[in-house]
Amino acid sequence: MEVSFLGAVREVTGSMHMIDTGHDRILLDCGLFQGRRREVWEKNTTMAIDPATITNVVLSHAHIDHSGRIPLLVKENFNGHIISTRGTQDICGYLLPDSAHIQESDADYLNYKNARSALVTPGKKGVADDLSNRKAQEVKKLLKSGRNKLNRAAIAEIAERHSLTQVEPLYREADARLSLGYFSGVPYRTPITIGKDMTCTFYEAGHILGSAISIIHYGKGKDRRTVCYTGDLGRFDRPILKNPCLDFNEEDRDIDLLIMESTYGDRVHETTQELDLSMAREINLAIERKGSVVIPAFALGRTQEILYVIHELYERGAVPRIPVYVDSPLASGLTKVFGEHPELYDRETHETFLQNGLNPFCFQGVNFVSSVDESMELMRKKESCIVISASGMCEAGRILHHLRYRIHNPVNTILIVGFMAENTLGRRILDLGRAFRKDGRKGEAPVVRILGKEYPLKANVVPLNGFSAHADKEEMMRFLKGCNLKVKKIALVHGEEHASLKLAETLGHEGFKVLVPEAGQTLKI
């Protein structure tokens, strides 16, 4: 049996690994690379293996950096099953079509901007500022059908006439919906056959709803080999979800290779109490400045946890009850998924909310924004509010428009509540904002580019690492030392190189045999 490391190796996005037994090829995740459009396009569209030769996919959880290339896989003649927990299957029913919609919308917007520039300044691109308002309005009327809807046909015709390169989405919503028919949902702790003499059993990972640690057996008797893949390992003693599993069935405990994430292998998160205090402080400061708080967040998991914390702060009177807007088309659907899987909640959530007939994520002052028109109206809102919007790394979606309207104003705050991968807009905002703050916010503000236009980063950028759904260094050690697995070797993935290497050093001192594979490396078991 061979294991190849094909994505999220010495980096964070694009999770994909392969187990090859000679009879079967099993993919562990099939995630989207995220970062600069030009740099990730080739990575996302070029598969390291022919999809037609893959037997099945084992999907650890629904986040797009783990599931987002599944529609591409299906487009390229994959004919197997996508095996996941039932929670992950249900969530992908919303996330994959939404991923396609976001990609289509962003491509449409960029094509609109190119067509507009070609019309208003023939022979030049991106120089529309000196045009008369009348001319600009005429162009917008031609390229739009309604206030916020683009005229794709007109934009395509202008692109052809002016020899403009059209931006294409990676896949379309129809491709995403087609891929959903390939899913097979499996309960936790229930072995399922995934290949010849090959089974998979899922255990709770505690990362997001439906996330799983996968135990994969191949062979029989003395020749049996076992791989454990953590996917994204969650945190301990956090609200909503159960802790990562520590008690594995006896037949699943002997592990030849543990493939473990290392996102936060070089740091320790804030405690829950510190996190609550930090959140309250930043909300209060923004209100004092008569500004708003913008929170880029994954629509799944992170958004619900933020709502949970804000709900508690409001109930305690720790912050004024300003309006909270969840600007994501996924909100109502994902809330429904949460409601359909109360068996995955921890005891605290049951006792605090469910047993009292309360929804932990819905309370007075929360508004779920659905339509584009509502989102555009919210974008221009001047009163203090909290805006939670996707995508979590600021690479696409409605968050881009909220940022471009608020990022230049120092009264506003941008809360970074999760990991930002290298080369993403979220990472640039975090790094530039942190440096500007360290310099006392003096001199010229740094500049960020959003949807082709530059904006001064004058808003306050504040990271709150305690919201992360990833285990930190100490929690990963708690998992390894506290669980009843007997691990022969560990391969660290899903971490930037410095984090993976630092965790490998820490684990080596604790007596574990560890390697940090290179992209494309194959390990024989």
**CATH, residue 303:** 3.40.50.10890
Tokens of 477: 């050690």
In a domain, 132, yes or no: no
Distance CA 118, CA 124 (A): 6
One-letter amino acid identity for 87?
A: G
Q: What pTM, to 2 d.p., does this model score?
A: 0.81
HSE, CB side, 13 Å, CA atoms: give it for residue 404: 13
Cis amide linkage into residue 292, ω under 30° from 0: no
Q: DSSP class of residue 144?
A: B
Asked if residue 160 belongs to a domain, the reply is: no
Provide the residue type at 23 as one letter. Answer: H
Cβ neighbourhood burial of 464 (10 Å; 0-12, 13-18, 19+) = buried
8 Å CB contact between 216 and 227: yes
> Residue holding tokens 């949970």?
308
The per-residue pLDDT for range 13-45, each reduced to its tens digit, is 999 999 999 999 999 999 999 877 777 888 898
The reply to whether 286 and 429 lie within a common domain is yes
pLDDT of amino acid 121: 65
Is position 122 within any domain? no
CA distances from 172 to 68, 92, 102 (A): 12, 15, 9
Task: State the distance between the two ends of the chain, measured CA to CA, in whole angstroms.
Answer: 5
Closest CA to 69 of 90, 37, 106, 41: 41
In a domain, residue 351? The reply is: yes
For residues 344 and 432, state if they share a domain.
yes
User: Is the domain of 297 the same as that of 337?
Assistant: yes
Q: How many CA atoms lie within 13 Å of 44's alpha carbon, on the beta-carbon side? A: 26
Gap between the Cα atoms of 467 and 127, Å rounded: 41
Which CATH number goes with the domain that contains 24? 3.60.15.10
Residue 256 domain-assigned?
yes
- Rounded mean pLDDT of 276-294? 96
Residues 297 and 177 in one domain: no
- The residues near 501 (Cβ < 8 Å, ≥ 6 apart) are 516
- 219 within some domain: yes
Last residue of a domain, one of 467, 495, 514: 467
| 217 and 259 belong to one structural domain | yes
Same domain, 231 and 376: no
The yes-or-no verdict on residue 270 having pLDDT over 90 is no
Q: Is pLDDT of 275 > 90?
A: no
Place of tokens 């959530």: 349
pLDDT at 128: 44
Residue 255 CB: number of other CB atoms within 10 A? 21
Give the mean pLDDT of 428-455. Answer: 93
Residue 229 Rama label (left phi>0; alpha psi -120 to 50; beta): beta
Helix (H) or strand (E) holding 136: helix 133-143
CA dihedral (163, 164, 170, 172) positive or negative: negative
By the 8 A CB rule, do 57 and 72 touch? no
Number of neighbouring beta carbons within 10 Å of residue 244: 24
Domain span at residue 296 reads: 272-467
117 within some domain: no
Nearest to 479 by CA among 263, 204, 244: 244
Based on the number of CB atoms within 10 Å of its own CB, is 401 exposed (0-12), middle (13-18) or buried (19 or more)?
A: buried
Check if the beta carbon of residue 279 is closer than 8 Å to that of residue 310. yes
Above 50 in pLDDT, residue 404?
yes
For residue 438, list its beta bridge partners.
Answer: none
Secondary structure (H, E, C), 73-112: HHHCCCCCEEEEEHHHHHHHHHHHHHHHHHHHHHHHHHHH
Q: Quick one: 288 and 278 in the same domain?
A: yes
Give whichever of 104-118, 234-248, 296-310 has the largest mean pLDDT: 234-248
Instruction: Looking at the structure, tell me whether residues 208 and 219 fall in a common domain.
Output: yes
Among residues 429, 452, 467, which one ends one of the domains? 467
Decide: 113 and 236 in contact? Cβ < 8 Å.
no
Domain boundary among 451, 467, 483: 467
In the DSSP assignment, the letter for residue 445 is P
Q: Which helix (H) or strand (E) holds 138?
A: helix 133-143
Are 249 and 284 part of one and the same domain? no
The predicted model gives 97-113 an average pLDDT of: 87
Q: Return the higher-pLDDT residue of 303 and 384.
A: 384
Whether the link from the prior residue into 391 is cis, omega within 30° of 0, is: yes
> Is residue 219 pLDDT above 70, yes or no?
yes
- Amino acid 346: pLDDT: 78
User: Are 324 and 430 in a shared domain?
Assistant: yes
Condensed to tens digits (0 to 9), the pLDDT of residues 60-73 reads 999 999 999 999 99
Q: What is the DSSP string of 341-380?
A: -GGGB-HHHHHHTGGGT--TT--TTEEEE-SHHHHHHHHT
Is residue 422 assigned to a domain? yes
List Cα–Cα distances, 200 to 135, 424, 483, 493, in angstroms: 62, 34, 19, 20
- What length does the chain have? 525
Residue 313: predicted pLDDT: 92
Backbone φ and ψ for 428, nearest 5 degrees, come out as -65, -40
Q: Which two tokens stand for residue 500?
A: 């993976």
CA distance 7 to 518: 10
Report, as an integer, the average pLDDT of 254-261: 98
Instruction: Tell me what percent of the residues of the chain surpass a pLDDT of 70.
Output: 94
Q: Which amino acid is at 448?
A: V
- In this structure, the answer to whether residues 408 and 485 fall within a common structural domain is no
Residue-level pLDDT at 352 = 65
Where would I find the H helices in 407-483? 425-438, 473-482
Within this chain, do residues 41 and 187 fall inside the same structural domain, yes or no? yes
Give dist(CA 15, CA 515) in Å, integer.
17
Give the number of domains in the chain. Answer: 2
